[in-house]
């Protein structure tokens, strides 16, 4: 199978099962959202794919070859994560050149130009950066590394709204020019909703959904209007939540809307990804 494939991957930390027999394929040239609540197992998965952790069971393959201790495969994969792996006193501009040593297709020119656009001085030392600028530094690396599989673990951590927009814009531009596989693990679900095509939801170490955004969004819907009419429509249906304001009510439902029995005057809309995610991952 082409792409990155996890086969029966499990990882335990003492009494915590961080990943529980995960089988999953990240296909070529797609943008994935990897979504899960705190502690669901996202970082563990990304660290296993990028050889920073080894699974207790199962394996990860790239185009059918195991990635474990496989430098060729690891050269095709880049992970941005919380840990900065650069020598502490290294300046940003040196770090760009250093990255090129390990990833020959790393675009130093583009990295410099992005640094300028994000307002990151390349004379600064890597260990002197604020939380937001440390993220910006890592995001720039990921946008310039030019490998087929880039994993973004919390790519917008600490970024202000302007910088987040700038990141999404550059990600989509790069993807449009030269497609690659991007896997974005984030808690800012509504923000990435328009960026991602495929969604993987992980809950307590297990994959509970793995489908296109549109398929997933098709699982829920919203009905709003006069409270009494909404109440009569939702009776007996799979209601996951309601909001009320004066005489108006909005109900969030799972399943397919039954247009035939929809009372006059009610408005039917899709459910946003965040509302759906909250419901699908509630305990
Ligand atoms: N080195 C470790 N030692 C012990 N337990 C760990 C270790 N790394 C992860 N865990 C545990 O494994 C589980 C999964 O953690 P992981 O960091 O993969 O979750 P996550 O989905 O990335 O969470 P978050 O969104 O909070 O970053 C958690 O219960 C966590 O406490």
pLDDT attached to residue 188: 92
**Residue 217, SS3?**
helix
Indicate the class that CATH gives domain 219-281.
Answer: alpha beta
Compute CA 232 distance to the chain's CA centroid, rounded to the nearest angstrom: 38
Hey, do 4-216 and 219-281 end up sharing a CATH topology, with the first three levels equal? Answer: no
Pocket test for ligand 1, best of 17, 18, 52 (most atoms within 8 A of CB): 18
Q: What CATH architecture is 4-216?
A: 3-Layer(aba) Sandwich (3.40)
**Which residue's entry shows tokens 């994959």?**
207
pTM of the model: 0.91
Q: Is the CB of 208 under 6 A from ligand 1?
A: no
Pocket test for ligand 1, best of 9, 22, 41 (most atoms within 8 A of CB): 41
Q: Where are the domains of the chain?
A: 4-216, 219-281
Question: What's the DSSP call for residue 125?
Answer: B
The pLDDT tens digits along the chain (283 residues) read 789 999 999 999 999 999 999 999 999 999 999 999 999 999 999 999 999 999 999 999 999 999 998 989 999 999 987 666 788 789 999 999 999 998 999 999 999 999 999 999 999 999 899 999 999 999 999 999 999 999 999 999 899 999 999 999 999 999 999 999 999 999 999 999 999 999 999 999 999 999 999 999 998 999 999 999 999 999 999 998 889 999 999 999 988 887 777 778 899 998 889 988 988 888 7
Q: Is the CB of 38 under 6 A from ligand 1?
A: yes
Pocket test for ligand 1, best of 43, 185, 200, 277 (most atoms within 8 A of CB): 43
For the chain, the helix, strand and coil percentages under 3-state DSSP, each to the nearest 5: 35, 30, 35
Q: Is the CB of 81 under 6 A from ligand 1?
A: no
* C-alpha–C-alpha distance, residues 8 and 141, integer Å: 31
Q: Is the CB of 82 under 6 A from ligand 1?
A: no
* C-alpha–C-alpha distance, residues 75 and 146, integer Å: 10
Cα atoms in the 13 Å half-sphere on the side-chain side of 162: 4
pLDDT attached to residue 257: 84
Q: Is the CB of 83 under 6 A from ligand 1?
A: no
Q: Is the CB of 44 under 6 A from ligand 1?
A: yes
């Amino acid at each position: 199978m082409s792409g990155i494939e996890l086969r029966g991957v499990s990882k335990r930390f003492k009494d915590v099962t961080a990943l529980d027999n995960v089988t999953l394929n990240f296909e070529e040239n797609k943008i994935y959202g990897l979504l899960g609540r705190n502690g669901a197992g996202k970082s563990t998965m990304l660290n296993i794919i990028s050889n920073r952790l080894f699974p207790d069971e199962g394996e990860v393959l790239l185009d059918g070859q195991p990635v474990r201790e496989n430098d060729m495969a690891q050269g095709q994969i880049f992970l941005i994560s919380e840990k900065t792996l650069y020598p502490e006193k290294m300046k940003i501009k040196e770090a760009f050149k250093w990255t090129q040593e390990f990833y020959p297709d790393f675009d130093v020119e583009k990295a410099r130009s992005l640094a300028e656009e994000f307002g990151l001085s390349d004379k600064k030392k890597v260990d002197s950066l604020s939380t937001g600028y440390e993220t910006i530094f890592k995001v720039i690396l990921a946008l310039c590394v030019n490998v087929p599989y880039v994993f973004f673990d919390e790519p917008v951590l600490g970024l202000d709204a302007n910088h987040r927009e700038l990141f999404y814009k550059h990600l989509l531009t790069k993807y449009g020019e030269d497609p690659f596989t991007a896997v974005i693990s984030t808690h800012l679900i509504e923000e990435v909703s328009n960026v991602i095509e495929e969604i993987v939801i992980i809950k307590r170490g297990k994959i509970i959904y793995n489908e296109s955004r549109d398929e997933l969004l098709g699982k829920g819907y919203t009905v709003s209007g006069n409270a009494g009419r909404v109440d009569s429509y939702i009776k007996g249906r799979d209601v996951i939540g309601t909001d009320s304001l004066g005489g108006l009510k909005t109900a969030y439902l799972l399943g397919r809307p039954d247009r035939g029995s929809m009372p006059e005057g009610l408005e039917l809309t899709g459910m946003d990804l965040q509302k759906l995610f909250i419901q699908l991952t509630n305990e």
